[in-house]
């Protein structure tokens, strides 16, 4: 009986893996079939010369260039805010905090992790309305508000992964450096973080992916249908996921729809690119930090 | 021979002047933007976006120092945001109420006419309805295509969200302010409505006439098929204006933008995007 | 040297406190903006009535039920599949395939929900309409599998990570005793890694409950009282997106903050409950 259960679980697991792969292949195949033909330079740059666009000499119309840049800016901005805060809070949770306070914080971060992205967007929007009413009428939804909201959205992922990574380090490794006279901070920076960097980067990847794909937050906090490149963080901006959403609900003809599919493929490609970079960094960082 | 050359050169000159006058027309419509600088925020009705985008493209290409951002959000949002001074131009797919106009001191610019047509899947055999039948369908009293001479299948109702200008117009003029069944599926835009109806053989929905194409079939309402001609002539009653609004007199840049929409070039864009220009 | 309160500790503490405060700030913002509706003592009305703004009813009961059903259904589809996938990635597959699968899953976390929903709108909705033989094909039953696919990568990554954190000494012992990979998983890793598994499930549920695009595009959004899986229904998140376009001062707009507040409270209660059961069982062991 036990043997039967074991083998049926094995079979089920393989089936599950196959199902997931098939689902992904169906999706990608479908996107390529519908949008593959649009994938060329003009999808990104419209009728503007690519070099002019890249040098910011001319604004791009009918192309995805502003949306791509907007998405990259969003990712960079929100990760710049979220990574330091998330990792520091994670370290605090794993290394300094204990007892009641720890379980209280744990609960708070669990709640934050469960807060739906559209609610985070709503909070960002209400912050904007609040600032607009009481501080300056110049303040409206913008890149900055979106970055802040997205950072808040991914913060619990970063805290959690950092915390679990640190907590799961073998006690032997944990105690060695302090026994040799290292301070708590030295132990964290020199031993514990390098040993868990691979998992932390894993968490960062997850968080980056979330920033890149989220539509509900940016829909409420500053993404617009057309804006060109943002000139400052107080401007509204275009972003790929919002563009896809906009096309999916507003397209006027098959050509525009195909461009939406094209944008979806591009977004997946960008995510794949980020992932590869992160994997490469994961390997490099681990060797660099552990064996310097 | 000499005469021939004269004629040729004359024709050449004529062609040259013709060309000059065509490009000159577009250039002169854009000329007021020369030397302008600054940012313009536009938001509101989603039907307006294609026109706004094309206009912004031509303006910025003539003068890259101008920045224009265009957002959707719906007619209600456009009216409110321009009233609060959050944006420079608000778009609405319905006429703002008198209360809204006086409260915010709104100035109206109607630059196009658009109809709202009832649509079904192209394979549906039902091609015409009376107003009474349409109202009964939307309240849920008629719930099977069989009752209208179609196949024996349940009617799948589609409607728009409550903030939609298209819904307001359809509800007011086609349904005569009758109830819309709570069981109706709700979609969020004209495009989504077209997708839904084009994919569902038993669907009925309503979209902007500018959006109607081969993927859906327009239903004749009381004998009048909704298309650009019947809307223009006024035979098809379920129509509306597309408005842009400003709070008080528009700012200099916003004023120039609106002038451009009303210029020959601007009105040509309006026609290209499937609406009926007012000039 | 090991001073109890060093400067660095304060920095770390500040980060944690800030994150905690932000969690509270979200709640406070939602509360402030939904006060006008709550003050009138309409709480029970809001919770138990349905949505008909023309008649002055701003209830969210149908949406609340639809959201909960949708999240539970998609979680129950996704959980076994995710667990199975994490088994394959952790133990069953050869090393190279493992890495490939893991990269694939990580890539999937970056696929926008709007892309899933858009593809499903053209692939799954017509299929469901034909299978059911009635209705438009837009219903909870259509949205649930897509949502399941959407939350699977997050859960898989959490499961795989928590399996990877099981001390090597334990797994090596099984190897030494001649146990198979699946035995190692079932009898050693799962008992050790289950807090991580619960974390993954929590996050998965949160995402399922909180996703907007899938239910907005696939579930049909009708506001009629929810009573069947094959009927068009509207989730709380889709409701927020649909009502967003109202102007700031309208009751409709204020009522979406109440929706946000309820979403927040429901997730908070759920987390509290699960945390308490976790504590209870880990205390018992």
Cβ neighbours, 10 Å, residue A163: 27
Residue pairs spanning A and B at CB distance below 8 A: 69
Report the pLDDT value the prediction gives residue C62, as an integer from 0 to 100. Answer: 87
Report the pLDDT value the prediction gives residue C2, as an integer from 0 to 100. Answer: 45
Q: Are the beta carbons of B188 and C220 separated by less than 8 Å?
A: no
Closest chain C residue by Cα to residue B79: C247
Angle (nearest 5°) at CA B48 between B44 and B50: 125
DSSP secondary structure letter of residue C93: S
Which of A143-152, A196-205, A256-265 is modeled with the greatest confidence? A143-152
The residue whose two tokens read 């094309």 is B54
Distance (Å, rounded) from C-alpha B260 to C-alpha A163?
Answer: 58
Tell me the domain boundaries of chain A: 64-290
Evaluate whether B57 touches B27 at the Cβ level (below 8 Å).
no
Distance (Å, rounded) from C-alpha C9 to C-alpha C21?
Answer: 18
Report the pLDDT value the prediction gives residue C3, as an integer from 0 to 100. Answer: 47
Evaluate whether A215 touches A241 at the Cβ level (below 8 Å).
yes
Higher pLDDT, residue A288 or A168: A168
Evaluate whether C261 touches A140 at the Cβ level (below 8 Å).
no
Q: Are the beta carbons of C249 and B185 separated by less than 8 Å?
A: no
Report the pLDDT value the prediction gives residue C246, as an integer from 0 to 100. Answer: 64
- Tell me the backbone φ, ψ of residue C219, rounded to 5 degrees: -95, -10
Q: Are the beta carbons of C32 and A119 separated by less than 8 Å?
A: no
Q: Are the beta carbons of C15 and A84 separated by less than 8 Å?
A: yes
- Tell me the backbone φ, ψ of residue B240, rounded to 5 degrees: -155, 165
Distance (Å, rounded) from C-alpha A178 to C-alpha A187?
Answer: 7
Is pTM, for the whole model, over 0.90? no
Q: Are the beta carbons of A114 and C186 separated by less than 8 Å?
A: no
Q: Are the beta carbons of C88 and A17 separated by less than 8 Å?
A: yes
CATH number belonging to domain C62-284:
1.10.3720.10
Instruction: With both helix axes pointing from N to C terminus, report the angle between A254-290 and C113-132 in degrees, rounded to the nearest 10.
Output: 130
Q: Which long-range contacts (CB under 8 A, 24 or more apart) does C271-276 make?
A: C271/A107, C271/A110, C271/A111, C271/A114, C271/C202, C272/A107, C274/A110, C274/C198, C274/C202, C275/A103, C275/A106, C275/A107, C275/A110
Both tokens assigned to C69: 């059903």
At A226, the pLDDT band (50, 70, 90 cuts) reads confident
Residues in chain C within 8 Å Cβ distance of B74: 245-246
Q: What is the mean pLDDT of residues B179-189?
A: 86
Distance (Å, rounded) from C-alpha A276 to C-alpha B9?
Answer: 64
Strands B106-120 and B239-247: antiparallel
Closest by Cβ to B70, choosing from A132, A225, A247 = A225
Q: Is the pLDDT of residue B121 over 90?
A: yes
Report the pLDDT value the prediction gives residue B22, as an integer from 0 to 100. Answer: 46
Report the pLDDT value the prediction gives residue A55, as an integer from 0 to 100. Answer: 65
Closest chain C residue by Cα to residue B82: C247
Report the pLDDT value the prediction gives residue C247, as an integer from 0 to 100. Answer: 62
DSSP H or E run through C90: none
Evaluate whether C44 touches C278 at the Cβ level (below 8 Å).
no
Torsion of CA A143, A144, A145, A149, to 10 degrees: 100
Q: Are the beta carbons of A249 and B60 separated by less than 8 Å?
A: no
* One-character DSSP codes across chain A: -HHHHHHHHHHHHHHHHHHHHHHHHHHHHHHHHHHGGG-SHHHHHTTS-HHHHHTTSS---SSSHHHHHHHHHHHHHHHHHHHHHHHHHHHIIIII--HHHHHHHHHHHHHHHHS-HHHHHHHHHHHHHHHHHHT-TT--S-HHHHHHHHHHHHHHHHHHHHHHHHHTS-HHHHHHHHHTT--HHHIIIIIIHHHHHHHHHHHHHHHHHHHHH--HHHHHHTB-SB--S-SSTTS-B--HHHHHHHHHHH--SHHHHHHHHHHHHHHHHHHHHHHHHHHHHHHHHHHHHH--
Both tokens assigned to C213: 């695009």
A266-286 residue pLDDT tens: 888 888 888 788 778 777 777
- Chain B nearest CA to A236, separation (Å): 7
Evaluate whether B193 touches B206 at the Cβ level (below 8 Å).
yes
Report the pLDDT value the prediction gives residue B10, as an integer from 0 to 100. Answer: 53
Report the pLDDT value the prediction gives residue A17, as an integer from 0 to 100. Answer: 92
Domains, chain B, ordered by start:
2-114+242-277 (3.40.190.10), 115-239 (3.40.190.10)
Distance (Å, rounded) from C-alpha A197 to C-alpha A283?
Answer: 9
DSSP H or E run through B102: helix B98-104
Distance (Å, rounded) from C-alpha A215 to C-alpha A212?
Answer: 9
Collect all residues with Cβ–Cβ distance below 8 Å to A230 and sequence separation of at least 6.
Answer: A70, A73, A143, A236, A237
Report the pLDDT value the prediction gives residue B1, as an integer from 0 to 100. Answer: 44
Mutate to test the interface with A, among B52, B77, B86, B193 (most CBs of A within 10 A): B86
- Report the neighbours of C using a cutoff of 3 or more CB pairs below 8 angstroms: A, B
The residue whose two tokens read 């959407």 is C150
- Chain C nearest CA to A285, separation (Å): 18
- Report the neighbours of A using a cutoff of 3 or more CB pairs below 8 angstroms: B, C
Cβ neighbours, 10 Å, residue B178: 15
Q: Are the beta carbons of B70 and A137 separated by less than 8 Å?
A: no
Report the pLDDT value the prediction gives residue B258, as an integer from 0 to 100. Answer: 93
Q: What is the mean pLDDT of residues A131-138?
A: 78
Q: What is the mean pLDDT of residues B20-28?
A: 54
Report the pLDDT value the prediction gives residue A284, as an integer from 0 to 100. Answer: 77
Q: E strands, chain B, where? A: 38-44, 66-73, 89-92, 106-120, 128-129, 156-160, 185-187, 203-208, 217-218, 220-221, 239-247, 276-277
Torsion of CA A234, A235, A241, A243, to 10 degrees: 170
B49-85 residue pLDDT tens: 888 988 998 888 888 888 888 887 778 778 888 887 7
Q: Is the pLDDT of residue A25 over 80?
A: yes
ipTM score: 0.81
Q: Is the pLDDT of residue A65 over 80?
A: yes
Q: Are the beta carbons of B191 and A253 separated by less than 8 Å?
A: no
Closest chain B residue by Cα to residue A133: B84
Strands B156-160 and B203-208: parallel
At B2, the pLDDT band (50, 70, 90 cuts) reads very low
Q: Is the pLDDT of residue A77 over 60?
A: yes
Angle (nearest 5°) at CA A117 between A116 and A122: 100
Q: Are the beta carbons of C109 and A210 separated by less than 8 Å?
A: yes
Quick one: fold of A64-290? Answer: MetI-like fold (1.10.3720)
Report the pLDDT value the prediction gives residue A41, as an integer from 0 to 100. Answer: 77
Q: Are the beta carbons of A246 and B72 separated by less than 8 Å?
A: yes
Evaluate whether A114 touches C262 at the Cβ level (below 8 Å).
no
Q: Are the beta carbons of B192 and C217 separated by less than 8 Å?
A: yes
The residue whose two tokens read 């309160």 is C5
Label residues B55-86 b or e (16+ Cβ within 10 Å = b).
bbbbbbebeeebbbbbbbbbbbbbbbbbbbeb
Closest CA to A42 of A61, A67, A70, A68: A61
Q: In this complex, is the C-beta atom of A232 within 8 Å of any C-beta atom belonging to chain B?
A: no
Residues in chain C within 8 Å Cβ distance of A248: 114, 117-118, 121, 217
On average, the pLDDT of chain B sits at 85
Closest CA to A108 of C227, C63, B230, C16: C16
Q: What is the mean pLDDT of residues B209-231?
A: 89
On average, the pLDDT of chain A sits at 83
- Residue C72 exposed, middle or buried by CB count within 10 Å (0-12, 13-18, 19+): middle
Closest by Cβ to A92, choosing from C13, C237, C240 = C13
CA contacts within 13 A on the Cβ side of A221: 29
Q: Is the pLDDT of residue B162 over 60?
A: yes
Distance (Å, rounded) from C-alpha B193 to C-alpha B203?
Answer: 10
Q: Is the pLDDT of residue B100 over 90?
A: no
Q: In this complex, is the C-beta atom of C129 within 8 Å of any C-beta atom belonging to chain B?
A: yes
Sign, Cα dihedral of B11, B15, B21, B27: negative
Q: In this complex, is the C-beta atom of B185 within 8 Å of any C-beta atom belonging to chain C?
A: yes
Per DSSP, what are the bridge partners of residue B42? B70, B89
Report the pLDDT value the prediction gives residue A278, as an integer from 0 to 100. Answer: 77
Tell me the mean pLDDT per 10 residues along chain C, length 285: 65 88 88 79 70 77 88 94 92 87 84 83 86 82 92 89 80 80 80 80 83 87 80 88 71 81 85 76 58
Cβ neighbours, 10 Å, residue B279: 10
> B residues 161-180 near C, CB within 8 Å?
161-164
Residue length, chain A? 292
Higher pLDDT, residue A224 or B259: B259
Per DSSP, what are the bridge partners of residue B153? none
Report the pLDDT value the prediction gives residue A18, as an integer from 0 to 100. Answer: 93
Evaluate whether B121 touches B216 at the Cβ level (below 8 Å).
yes
Evaluate whether C174 touches A1 at the Cβ level (below 8 Å).
no
Angle (nearest 5°) at CA B79 between A145 and B29: 95
Distance (Å, rounded) from C-alpha B83 to C-alpha B78?
Answer: 8
Report the pLDDT value the prediction gives residue B164, as an integer from 0 to 100. Answer: 80
Report the pLDDT value the prediction gives residue B245, as an integer from 0 to 100. Answer: 93
Report the pLDDT value the prediction gives residue A21, as an integer from 0 to 100. Answer: 93
Report the pLDDT value the prediction gives residue B216, as an integer from 0 to 100. Answer: 92
Q: Is the pLDDT of residue A173 over 80?
A: yes
Both tokens assigned to B118: 């009832």
Tell me the domain boundaries of chain C: 62-284
Evaluate whether A139 touches A129 at the Cβ level (below 8 Å).
no
């Amino acid at each position: 009986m036990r043997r039967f259960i074991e083998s049926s679980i094995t079979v089920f697991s393989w089936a599950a893996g196959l199902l997931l792969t098939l689902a992904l292949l169906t999706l990608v195949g479908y996107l390529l079939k519908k949008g593959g033909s649009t994938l060329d330079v003009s999808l990104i740059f419209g009728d503007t010369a690519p070099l002019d666009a890249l040098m910011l000499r001319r604004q791009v119309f009918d192309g995805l260039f502003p949306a791509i840049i907007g998405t990259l800016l969003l990712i960079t901005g929100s990760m710049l805010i979220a990574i330091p805060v998330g990792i520091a809070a994670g370290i605090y949770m794993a290394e300094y905090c204990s007892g009641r306070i720890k379980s209280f914080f744990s609960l708070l971060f669990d709640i934050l992790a469960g807060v739906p992205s559209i609610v985070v967007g709503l909070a960002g929007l209400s912050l904007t309305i609040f600032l607009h009413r009481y501080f300056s009428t110049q303040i409206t939804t913008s890149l900055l508000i979106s970055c802040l909201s997205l950072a808040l959205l991914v913060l619990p992922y970063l805290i959690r992964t950092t915390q679990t990574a640190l907590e799961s380090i073998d006690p032997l490794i944990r105690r060695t450096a302090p026994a040799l006279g290292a301070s708590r901070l030295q132990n964290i920076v020199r031993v514990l973080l390098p040993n868990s960097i691979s998992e932390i980067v894993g968490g960062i990847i997850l968080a980056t992916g979330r920033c890149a794909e989220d539509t509900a937050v940016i829909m409420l906090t500053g993404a617009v249908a057309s804006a060109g490149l943002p000139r400052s963080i107080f401007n509204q901006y275009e972003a790929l996921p919002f563009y896809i959403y906009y096309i999916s609900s507003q397209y006027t003809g098959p050509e525009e729809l195909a461009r939406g599919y094209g944008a979806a493929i591009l977004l997946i490609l960008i995510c794949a690119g980020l992932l590869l970079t992160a994997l490469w960094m994961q390997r490099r960082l681990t060797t660099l930090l552990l064996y310097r | 021979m000499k005469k021939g050359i004269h004629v040729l050169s004359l024709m050449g000159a004529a062609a040259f002047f013709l060309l000059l006058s065509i490009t000159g027309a577009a250039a002169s419509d854009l000329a007021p933007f020369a030397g302008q600088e600054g940012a313009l925020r536009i938001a509101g009705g989603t039907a307006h976006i294609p026109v706004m985008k094309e206009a912004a493209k031509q303006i910025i290409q003539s003068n890259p120092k101008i920045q224009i951002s265009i957002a959707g959000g719906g007619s209600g949002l456009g009216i409110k945001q321009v009233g609060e001074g959050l944006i420079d131009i608000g778009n609405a797919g319905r006429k703002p109420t008198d209360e809204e106009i006086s409260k915010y001191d709104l100035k109206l610019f109607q630059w196009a006419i658009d109809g709202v047509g009832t649509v079904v899947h192209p394979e549906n055999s039902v091609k015409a309805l009376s107003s009474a039948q349409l109202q009964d369908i939307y309240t849920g009293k008629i719930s099977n295509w069989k009752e209208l001479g179609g196949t024996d299948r349940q009617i799948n109702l589609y409607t728009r969200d409550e903030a939609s200008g298209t819904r307001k117009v359809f509800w007011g003029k086609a349904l005569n302010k009758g109830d819309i069944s709570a069981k109706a599926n709700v979609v969020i835009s004209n495009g989504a409505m077209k997708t839904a109806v084009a994919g569902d053989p038993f669907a009925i929905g309503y979209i902007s006439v500018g959006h109607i194409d081969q993927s859906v079939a327009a239903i004749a309402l009381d004998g009048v098929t909704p298309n650009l001609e019947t809307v223009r002539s006024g035979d098809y009653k379920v129509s509306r204006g597309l408005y842009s609004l400003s709070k008080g007199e528009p700012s200099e840049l916003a004023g120039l933008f609106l002038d451009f929409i009303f210029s020959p070039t601007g009105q040509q864009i309006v026609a290209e995007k499937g609406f009926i220009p007012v000039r | 040297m090991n001073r109890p309160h060093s400067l660095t500790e304060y920095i770390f503490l500040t980060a944690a406190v800030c994150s905690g405060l932000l969690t509270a700030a979200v709640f406070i913002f939602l509360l402030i903006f939904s006060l006008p509706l709550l003050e009138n003592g309409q709480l029970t009305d809001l919770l138990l009535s349905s949505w008909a703004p023309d008649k002055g009813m701003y209830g969210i009961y149908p949406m609340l039920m639809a959201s909960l059903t949708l999240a539970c259904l998609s979680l129950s589809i996704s959980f076994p599949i995710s667990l199975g996938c994490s088994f394959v990635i952790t133990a069953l597959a050869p090393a190279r395939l493992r890495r490939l699968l893991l990269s694939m899953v990580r890539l999937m976390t970056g696929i926008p929900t709007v892309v899933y929903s858009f593809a499903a709108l053209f692939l799954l909705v017509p299929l469901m309409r034909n299978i059911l033989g009635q209705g438009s094909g837009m219903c909870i039953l259509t949205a649930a599998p897509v949502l399941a696919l959407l939350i699977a990568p997050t859960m898989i990554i959490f499961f795989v990570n928590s399996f990877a954190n099981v001390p090597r000494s334990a797994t090596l012992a099984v190897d030494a005793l001649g146990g198979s990979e699946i035995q190692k998983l079932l009898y050693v890793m799962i008992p050790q890694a289950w807090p991580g598994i619960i974390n993954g499930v929590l996050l998965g549920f949160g995402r399922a409950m909180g996703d907007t695009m899938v239910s907005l595009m696939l579930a049909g959004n009708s506001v009629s009282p929810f009573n069947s899986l094959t009927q068009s229904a509207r989730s709380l998140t889709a409701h927020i997106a649909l009502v967003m376009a109202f102007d700031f001062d309208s009751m409709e707009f204020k009522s979406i903050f109440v929706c946000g507040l309820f979403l927040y409270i429901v997730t908070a209660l759920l987390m509290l409950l699960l945390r308490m059961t976790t504590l209870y069982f880990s205390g018992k062991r």
